[in-house]
Amino acid sequence: MTIILMRHGKPDHPVSGRFTARALADWCEGYDQADICDSPPPRSMAIARMARVIASSPLPRARSSLTRLGLQPHEVDEVFSEVAMPLLPFERLHLPLTVWLALLRLLWLCGYAGHVESLTHARARARQAADKLVTLSKQGTVLLVGHGIMNKMIARELRKRGWQAEKHASSRHWSSAIYHRPFI
């Protein structure tokens, strides 16, 4: 039994500039609606071809990544979606995008969720996603085209269940992690 967790390709959305909190909210909304602007490397194409069952997040960057891989999903589910970025109500503060994203993700990991999904809820959703992938893996090798944070949370859940990593994912676009479940 094998589960492959692959991060989507590079979104067609700007990743630089200084933003207020309100402008950052607009940027996040645009990011969630963006398709991708690159093609998968040969290694990602080869890894994707190993799969018999294809799962995807419904977000456009995941779906357009599947299109670039030449694949159609068998399963599209919100449970695989990325965890939203919490926002802060600071109107006067202008920060670079990378600083905002790092700061907000760190705050989220420390318990601040604002009006988005909490870390506790995201962990529960990762357990549901892992359940779904394990069930799908009974049909053959599964490929999930998903997102950085959620894929890492799903991977952690798979490891807790005894799945062994052949390859750990990085945070780069098109990176993949491959997990095997030894037959017992």
Q: What does pTM read for this prediction?
A: 0.93
Q: Tens digits of per-residue pLDDT, 83-136? A: 999 988 877 889 999 999 999 999 999 999 999 999 999 999 999 999 999 999
Q: Give the pLDDT band of residue 183 (cuts 50, 70, 90).
A: low
Q: Compute the distance between CA of residue 38 and CA of residue 153 in angstroms, rounded to an integer.
A: 25
When mean pLDDT is compared over 9-18, 48-57, 88-97, the highest value belongs to: 48-57
Query: What mean pLDDT, rounded, does the chain reach?
Result: 94
Give residue 163's pLDDT band: very low, low, confident or very high (50, 70, 90): very high
Answer whether 4's CB lies under 8 Å from 178's CB: yes
DSSP state of 36: B
Per DSSP, helices labelled H in the chain are 21-33, 42-49, 60-69, 97-109, 119-137, 148-160
Q: How far apart are CA 129 and CA 142, in angstroms?
A: 12
Q: What is the mean pLDDT of residues 58-64?
A: 97
